[in-house]
Amino acid sequence: MKSAPFHIKHAPVLETEITVPGDKSVSHRAIMLAALSNGVCKITNFLEGEDCLSTAAAFRQLGVTIEQPEPGTLVVYGTRGVLTAPQGPIDCGNSGTTMRLMSGILAAQSFTSELTGDASLQNRPMRRVVEPLTRMGAKIRTGGARDTPPLLIEGGPLQAITYRTPVASAQVKSAILLAGLFAEGVTTVIEPSPSRDHTERMLEYFLVKLETEHPKPTSPTKECRISLQGRQQIESRDFSVPGDISSAAFWLVAAAARPGSRLLIKNVGLNPTRTGIIGVLIRMGARLREVVEVVAQGEPCGVIDIKGGRLRGTVIAGDEIPNVIDEIPILAVAGALAEGETIIRDAKELRVKETDRIAAIASNLRLMGVPVEEFEDGMKITGGQKLKGAKLPSYGDHRIAMAFAIAGLHASGETVIEDTACVQTSYPGFESTLMDILQRNSMRQKRTPVISSLDSRRRRGKSSKK
Ligand code: S3P
C-alpha cells in the first residue's frame, strides 16, 4: 500500500523529552513465549507495529486466544506448546523475525503449515533457518527459487543439535533455541560473536533453564555458546516491553548532530546487545549518556540524555556490526553529517534486509549530494558537506524511510520521502513524534511546521474546523 509522502524542511534544534514505542524484537518474543506457556500472560507496552501484529495474527491462526483489552496491552492464553493446525497459509507480512522464529516452533508441531509474506519477505533468504532445523529432523521445503519463502513445514519430533551459526544472527539462534524447547536432549547454539540476546533473557524470565557462555575479555574469539535442555515447561508470566532503542536511534542522531539540541529519551531498552549505537555515536564525538534505571523481566531499561554537537567520522566494522545492524541506515546519515570519512564494513547482511540497505543508503545519500563509495559489505561516506533536500524513495523499508526523514531535517530546502506506509511496520508513532518535536520548536521560534504529509494536513484541516 502506498501512502502520503513526508515533506520535511530543515529543522531548528531539538529540545524535548520523548518516549518511543515498545521494542519490536521483544514484542515478537513476548507473544511467542506467552503463547507456548502454561497459563495466561499479560503483555504491556506491546508494539502495535505491523510486524508484531503479524506475529499476533499468526498465533491466533494457530488457535491461540489473544485479547487486546486496551491499546498496547495483550492478554495471551498459553497452550503449553500445543498449537492447532492453521486454516491456509500464515501471512508473516514484512516480518523476517516472525517467519524465521516461527519456523522453529512450527517444525515441532504435529501438523503441516505454510509461512508466507509480502514481496520483500518473499525475497529474503531462509536457508539459514531451514538448514539447522533440517539437522534437527524438521521437514521444511522452500517454495521460492533461491531458498526463499514460502516455507512449507511438515511438523514432527525433533532431536537436539549443537550448531555453529556462520554469522551472528539472533533470528537464526532464536529459531534453533525455540525448536530446541521441543527437542529431545540439549540443544546448543554457538555464535561467532554475540547477537541480540532477548530470546535467552526472556526464556530465563519464563523460568526456562539456559546455560550461556559469553566470550571472556581475554579470549581470542568472541564466540558465544547457549544451551538448553528440551521439553522444559514455559511458566506463564506478565511482561512489560521496554521502548525500542532502534526507534530511539533516529532521534539520537537527529539531536546528536545538531549543536544546541538537548533530548531525553525515557523508558528505553538498554540491553547491551542493542546499545552499540551509543558507543558509535560517542566515538563520533556525541555528548550522550545512558542510565539504566531498572532491569525489568531480564531487560535493562532507562534513559538516554543527548546534547547536540559536531560529529566526526568513524569506522563501524567487525563484531560491532550485529549490535548495530538495524541502526546502520541512521548511522550512515550520522556519517554524512559528520566531519571526515565514515567507513562501514562487514555488513553484507544489509543486502538481504527489508531491501538492499547498502544500495538504498548509498543511492539516497548521493541524491542529497553526499559522496559515497559502495562496497559489497558496506560503504565509505564522505561527510561534512551540507545535505541538499531531495525526493527520496523509501524502497518500502521502514528504516530507510525514517533515517532519511531525519536526514531531511538537516538538509537545505525540502526533502520528500515517498511511500512511507512502511514506517508502520516498526514505528507507528514516528510521524506524530516528528510533528510534535518540530511544531514545539517552530512555535517557540515562530516558524512554520517543518513536516507535513497529506494525512497530517488532513488532520490539521479537520481540527481547525472544530
Ligand atoms: C532481529 C534480529 C536481527 C534484526 C531484525 C530483528 C530479531 O536480524 O536485523 O530486525 O528480532 O531477532 P538478524 O538476526 O537476522 O541479524
What does the pLDDT read at residue 462? 39
Model pLDDT for residues 152-163, shown as the tens digit of each residue: 999 999 999 999
The two beta strands, 391-392 and 414-417, are: parallel
Closest protein CA for atom 9 of ligand 1: 326
Residue nearest to atom 10 of ligand 1 (CA): 326
Question: Residue 367 above 70 pLDDT?
Answer: yes
Summarised one tens digit per residue, pLDDT across range 402-457 is 999 999 999 999 999 999 999 999 999 999 988 887 777 667 665 444 444 434 44
Q: What is the pLDDT of residue 441?
A: 66
Alpha helix locations (H) across 257-356?
A: 276-283, 321-324, 328-337
Tell how far the Cα of 323 is from the centroid of ligand 1, in angstroms: 10
* pLDDT score at 445: 65
How many CA atoms, within 13 angstroms, populate the side-chain half-sphere of residue 237?
Answer: 19
Atom of ligand 1 nearest to the CA of 173: 14
DSSP 158-174: -B--EEE-SS--HHHHH
Q: Is the beta carbon of 175 within 6 A of some atom in ligand 1?
A: no
171, 226, 402: residue to mutate for ligand 1 pocket, most atoms within 8 A of CB? 171
Ligand 1 nearest-atom number relative to CA 128: 15
- CA-nearest residue for atom 11, ligand 1, is 25
Q: Is the pLDDT of residue 465 over 50?
A: no
User: Confidence class of residue 460 from pLDDT cuts 50, 70 and 90?
Assistant: very low
Q: Is the CB of 354 under 6 A from ligand 1?
A: no
Give pLDDT, residue 214.
Answer: 87
State the pLDDT at residue 76: 98
H/E stretch holding 179: helix 170-180
Q: At what angle do helices 328-337 and 357-367 cross, to 10 degrees?
A: 30
pLDDT tens sequence across 91-150? 999 999 999 999 999 999 999 999 999 999 999 999 999 999 999 999 999 999 899 999
Atom from ligand 1 closest to the CA of residue 353: 9
First to last CA, the chain: 30
Query: Which helix (H) or strand (E) covers residue 357, if one does?
Result: helix 357-367
Write the pLDDT tens digit of every residue in 209-222.
Answer: 999 998 888 888 88
| pLDDT at 160 (0 to 100) | 98
Per-residue pLDDT, averaged over 241-252, amounts to: 98
pLDDT, tens only, 55-73: 999 999 999 999 999 999 9
DSSP 24: H
195 CB near ligand 1 (under 6 Å): yes
Ligand 1 in reach of 170 Cβ (< 6 A): yes
**What DSSP assignment string belongs to 382-408?**
EE-SPEEP-EE--TT-HHHHHHHHHHH
Ligand 1, atom 4: closest residue by C-alpha: 326
Helix (H) / strand (E) element for 370: namely none
**What's the whole-number average pLDDT of the chain?**
94
Q: What percent of the chain has pLDDT over 90?
A: 88
Query: Which ligand 1 atom is nearest residue 322's CA?
Result: 16
Q: Which residues are CB-neighbours of 434 under 8 A, at least 6 positions away?
A: 6, 8, 405, 451
- Pocket test of ligand 1: the residue of 169, 176, 299, 354 to mutate, having most ligand atoms within 8 Å of its CB, is 169
Q: Is 14 in the pocket of ligand 1 (CB under 6 A)?
A: no
| Mutation pick for ligand 1 pocket among 98, 324, 325, 349 (CB with most ligand atoms within 8 Å) | 325
| Whether residue 458 has pLDDT greater than 50 | no
Which of 97, 177, 350, 357 is the best mutation target for the ligand 1 pocket, counting ligand atoms within 8 Å of the beta carbon and taking the most? 97
Residue 107 — φ and ψ, nearest 5°? -60, -25
Residue of minimum CA distance from atom 13 in ligand 1: 169
Task: Set out the domains of the chain in order of their start, with CATH numbers.
Answer: 6-22+242-460 (3.65.10.10), 24-227 (3.65.10.10)
pLDDT band at 1 (very low <50, low <70, confident <90, very high): low
Q: Does residue 390 carry a pLDDT above 90?
A: yes
The pLDDT of residue 287 is 96
State mean pLDDT over 240-267: 97
Query: Catalytic one among 51, 197, 244, 326?
Result: 326
Ligand 1 centroid to Cα of residue 10, in Å, is 32
Please list, in sequence order, all residues whose beta carbon lies within 8 angstroms of the beta carbon of residue 96, skipping any fewer than 6 positions away.
121, 124, 171, 353, 354
Asked whether residue 368 carries a pLDDT value surpassing 60, the answer given is: yes
The ligand 1 atom nearest the CA atom of 349: 16
Cell of 367: 541524491
Known catalytic residue at 326: yes
According to the model, what pLDDT value does residue 291 have? 98
- Backbone φ/ψ region at 136: left (φ over 0), alpha (ψ -120 to 50), beta: alpha
Neighbours of 184 (CB within 10 A): 15
